[in-house]
Amino acid sequence: MGELERLRELSRENKSLKSVIEKSISIIQGCSSLEDTRDARIRILGRKGMITAVFEGISKMPEDERPAAGRAGNEFRTLVTALLEEKEKEIEASIHMESRELEGIDITLPGRCPPLGKKHILSKVIDDVVEIFISLGYSVETGPEVELDYYNFEALNTPAYHPARSLQDTFYVKRSDPEREEPDDILLRTHTSPVQIRVMESRKPPLYVISPGKAYRKDEIDATHTAMFFQVEGFAVDRGITMAQLKGTLEVFARKLFGSKRTVRLRPHFFPFTEPSAEVDVSCFACDGAGCSICKHSGWLEILGCGMIDPNVFSHVGYDPEEFSGFAFGMGIERIAMMKYGIEDMRYFYDDNIKFLSRF
C-alpha cells in the first residue's frame, strides 16, 4: 500500500487525526517546487508545525488512550515524511527533464536504431551458389577482369570471326604491345570462362573449380542487360568425366538452390569451348512445371550454359584429351537472382535505391 492510501486509512481509523491528515495531504499535493516542499515540511513536521499540535493533543488525552494515539501520531509522521520525499523526487525529475528538453533532447523518447548495412542481394546469391559447390568439394579461384584476348577468346576456341570478338560487343582496352600491328588485345573479360584456361595452365587435373566474378559487355542497357554483370563459372577436369556427371552435378545444384523437388533438362546448344554444349533449364519452382507467368507457361526456367570441354581447349593448356575429359558451365547471377526473387528489372540491382535493396 502506498503512503497516500495508508494516510487515508489512518484518518478513517483515528477521527482525531482526520483533519490534520487531510490538510497535510492537500499541502503536499499542492507543492510544485522544491521551495513548496521545504515550506510544507516546516508547516507539517516543524517544531511549531501540525505534528507538534497533534502530540500536544495526545498528551492531554486520558492515559489509556494515549499509547494508541501515540502510535497513530508516529505513523502519521513517518508517512508524511515519505510522501514529501516522493514529491521532491518527482519535482526534481521534472526539472531535470525540462532542462534536457531545452537542449533538444527528450530522454523519454525510445532510442533510434542507426540504419544497418547488409549484404547486397547479388552477393548473397553468389555466396549461395559458391557455397553449394564448395560443399561438393570444389575450390574457389578467381581471375582478372582486365584480360587478354588470348584467355577470353583464343584459348577458348573462339575464332577471330566470332561475333563476340567484334568491337560492338567487347570493351577493348588497348594493345599489349604498342608496336604490334594487330588490333587491341587487352579487354574487359566478356565472361568468367577465361579462368578455366588460367587455372588449367597453372595446375594439373584433377580440377574441380568454381569461379565467381564480374564480366563486361557492350550491351544496350535494358531490363535484362547491364554493361557489367556477374557470372559464376564452374568446371571439372579428371579422368573419365562424363556428361552424365555434368547433369547429375547440375541437378544437385538446382535442387539446393531452388528446392528439393526440382529437375533439370539439357537442351542442345552451341558454345565454342564445349562440345557437345547445352543450355540447362530447371523445372519452374513457382508452378512445379505446370506453367505460370514466371516460366512464361513453359514449366521451365533457363539457368545456365554448359558442355563437355572441347579437346581444342585442352590443346591450349597441354592436357591430353585422351587422358582427361571435363565439363564446364557458366551462369549469370543477375538472371538467377531475378528468377529466384521475382525481380523484373536487372537495373534495380545497380540503382542505389535503399528501399529495393533492403527488401532482401
- The residue behind cell 516543524 is 46
Size of interface with ligand DAH, in residues (CB under 6 A):
11
Which residues within the stretch 206-245 sit at the binding site for ligand DAH (CB under 6 A)? Answer: 233
314 lines the binding site for ligand DAH (CB under 6 A) = no
In whole angstroms, how close is the CB of 273 to ligand DAH at the nearest point? 6
335 lines the binding site for ligand DAH (CB under 6 A) = no
Pick the piece of the chain touching ligand DAH (CB under 6 A) from 169-177, 257-265, 284-292, 305-313: 305-313
How would you class 316 by CB atoms within 10 Å of its CB: exposed for 0-12, middle for 13-18, buried for 19 or more? middle
157 lines the binding site for ligand DAH (CB under 6 A) = no
Retrieve residue 113's grid coordinates: 536504431
158 lines the binding site for ligand DAH (CB under 6 A) = no
Pick the piece of the chain touching ligand DAH (CB under 6 A) from 44-52, 124-132, 203-211, 303-311: 303-311
329 lines the binding site for ligand DAH (CB under 6 A) = yes
199 lines the binding site for ligand DAH (CB under 6 A) = no
Nearer to ligand DAH, 87 or 191 (CB): 191
In whole angstroms, how close is the CB of 211 to ligand DAH at the nearest point? 10
Retrieve residue 192's grid coordinates: 568468367
Among 73, 143, 213, 305, binds ligand DAH (CB under 6 A): 305
- The residue behind cell 525529475 is 93
Among 158, 170, 193, 325, binds ligand DAH (CB under 6 A): 193
Q: What are phi and psi of 151, to 5 degrees?
A: -75, -35
Pick the piece of the chain touching ligand DAH (CB under 6 A) from 3-11, 83-91, 246-254, 304-312: 304-312
Select the residue whose beta carbon is closest to ligand DAH and give its number: 330
- Going edge to edge, which strands form the sheet with 172-174? 146-148, 186-188, 172-174
Query: Do 199 and 182 form a contact (C-beta atoms < 8 A)?
Result: no
Strand (E) positions, the chain? 139-140, 146-148, 172-174, 186-188, 207-216, 228-238, 264-271, 274-283, 300-309, 325-332
Query: Do 306 and 277 form a contact (C-beta atoms < 8 A)?
Result: yes
Task: Give the count of beta carbons closer than 10 Å to the beta carbon of residue 313.
Answer: 25
Among 41, 87, 165, 191, binds ligand DAH (CB under 6 A): 191
72 lines the binding site for ligand DAH (CB under 6 A) = no
Among 28, 232, 306, 339, binds ligand DAH (CB under 6 A): 306
Give every CB contact of residue 233 below 8 A, 6+ residues apart in sequence.
191, 192, 193, 195, 196, 210, 211, 212, 213, 328, 329, 330
Query: Do 330 and 232 form a contact (C-beta atoms < 8 A)?
Result: yes
At 243, is the secondary structure helix, strand, or coil? helix
Which residues within the stretch 245-284 sit at the binding site for ligand DAH (CB under 6 A)? Answer: 271, 274
Looking at the DSSP bridge assignments, the partners of residue 278 are 268, 306
Q: How far apart are CA 71 and CA 50, in angstroms?
A: 16
Nearer to ligand DAH, 17 or 328 (CB): 328
Q: How far apart are CA 128 and CA 58, in angstroms?
A: 86
Nearer to ligand DAH, 141 or 233 (CB): 233
338 lines the binding site for ligand DAH (CB under 6 A) = no
Binding site for ligand DAH (CB under 6 A): 191, 193, 233, 271, 274, 305-307, 328-330
